[in-house]
Structure 1
Amino acid sequence: MKRFLPLFSRYAIISTLPVLFSSLAFAGKAEVETAIQQALPQYSIENVQLHSGSGLYTVTLKDGPALHVTADGKYFTTGDIYHIKGAAVENETQKAKLAAIEALPASDMIVFKAPNEKTHITVFTDVDCAYCRMLHKEVPKLNEMGITVRYLAYPRAGLGSDGYKKMVSIWCSDDPKAWLTKAKGGENVPENTCVNPVADDYNLGNSIGVRGTPSIVLQDGQLIPGYLPADSLAKELGL
């Protein structure tokens, strides 16, 4: 003989499901955070977020790599997460990097806009970096090719360093584009202070895997670690 739950009992079970799910998710997040803090005490955790598609937790470490951690906190890996969609493979980590960068207002960047823009690159830069200076010399050529160059600050020596102070002074100057070019040519920048995005840029760079300069983010989210000549960059961009 079939037996049925009373109507009110079925409703009660259904109504508790969202609460149960959220409790389980919270427990997993707490376990992951505790496990990573114990295993990697040299890093501080900036964010822990569930990646719903894979069931892994993405842990963002300050000045460290992004980790993908199992819900029990016993296993982790680094690198990108790929989503298989039939014959297509989509890099979801790149999509997240791109979304974070594209959400930034252009007013917080130093932008060298191409007159006939076809695409853009976003460059994490340091004014004292020799390869950053090489890339900057090619900005006019990149602009001619239709590539807009958007700069974000990444003082390699960290927050509070001399490089950091130089970049704050540039971003706070009366003409950031001109002073960035002068600084990359070896000129001293007059000290300036203001509300600026330099620290936020630096932290964003760390969170998406920037470890040196220049680091170039293409419009599809691909991160290129290091200098590429203008012609090679154009090929990467499909131009």
Structure 2
Amino acid sequence: MKRLLLVAFSAISLSACAQAPDAQAPAAAQDGVPAAAVAASPNEPTPAAGTPEARALEAIRGLNPSIPVERIAESPMPGFREAIVGGQVVYVSDDGRYLFLPGSGGALYDAQDKRNLTESALAGMRRDLLAKIPQSERIVFAPPNPVHTVTVFTDVECGYCRKLHSEMAEYNRQGIAIEYLAFPRMGLGSEDYKKMVSVWCADDRRKAMTDAKDEKRIPQRDCTTTVNQQYDIGRRVGLTGTPMILAEDGTQMGGYVPPAELRQALDKRKAEQAPVAAAATPAG
């Protein structure tokens, strides 16, 4: 949750195909927060206690205490305050419970329960769409007894996709199974698309995927595949760049995420879901 807010408030892009894997690193961070987000604003508001402005500031601070709050004022939307947070507009309900971030794709957060309500709604839709793709149409790299399974929309030309694939052994060592789906980012009918069809038509799809990502020539093939369907579903689940990592419940975990960090995030999500699952189980 904190990571998602950090992305939203600080306009930090998830590592994806639009950015090369060896791009220049950001400025020095402090406790995992980018340096640009740590400095407090000299004009930070100090609203009177008990006011909607004070509740708005408390809600923002509760989700990310390091983000600079430039201003809190009346909003054109009744029942909300308008805040400038890290250079972005954020709307906070007057009771301080809900935050709406139009600059992050319209995300709505519950500050009390620390939940991204928009992501929760999208996760269910993604899970249903992914279920339409047969297991036989996924290219799977898995350890013997996986602890977690993620779906990764990938592209053979994407730099971050290649970086993720080069660390496959470590993802598997972390207990993570990766199920690849195709998303040729250059579009249907492109050379990129033809390579991915050739991968899905290969006798050994796993080897063909590895060879393609290693920029080795693979035999051009054509057959009946679900690559078009996978591409369409990728667009419908909100994919804006490859790779896109989705947890089993449909939650987006990010673009490229290092193996140990992904394992930690998946463990945390599983732990957070356990009480909810237990409460939903009938007694007796």
Short-chain TM bin: 0.5 to 0.7
**Structure 1 partner of 2:152:** 123
What is the Cα deviation at residue 211 of structure 1? 1.2
CA contact (8 A) 1:81 1:92 kept: no
Distance in 1 separating the partners of 2:173 and 2:137: 24
Flag structure 1 segments of 5+ consecutive residues without an equivalent: 1-76
Kindly indicate whether the alpha-carbon contact (under 8 Å) linking 2:181 and 2:230 is maintained by their aligned counterparts in 1.
yes
CA contact (8 A) 1:126 1:153 kept: yes
Instruction: Map 1:197-216; keep pairs closer than 5 Å.
Output: 197-216=226-245
Distance in 2 separating the partners of 1:136 and 1:125: 10
Structure 1 stretch displaced more, 222-231 or 127-136: 222-231
Contact 2:133 2:230 survives alignment (8 Å):
no
Aligned to 2:133: 104
Q: Given the two structures, how large is their TM-score scaled by the length of structure 1?
A: 0.62
In structure 2, what residue type is equivalent to 1:123?
A: V
Q: Give unmatched runs, 5+ long, in structure 2.
A: 1-101, 269-284
- C-alpha distance 143-219 of structure 1, shift in aligned 2 (>3 A): same
CA drift of 1:95 comes to 1.1
Is the contact between residue 174 and residue 260 of structure 2 (CA under 8 Å) also seen in structure 1? no
TM (norm. structure 2) is: 0.53
Instruction: Please identify runs of 4+ aligned residues in structure 1 that moved more than 2 A.
Output: 77-82, 86-90
| RMSD across aligned positions (CA) | 2.1
Q: Distance in 1 between matches of 2:131 and 2:259?
A: 22
Judging changes above 3 Å, is the alpha-carbon distance between structure 1 residues 106 and 81 closer, same or farther for their aligned structure 2 residues? Answer: farther
Paired letter, 1:204: I
Q: 1:186 aligns with which of 215, 218, 224?
A: 215
Pairs aligned (count): 161
Match of 2:171 among 135, 142, 149: 142
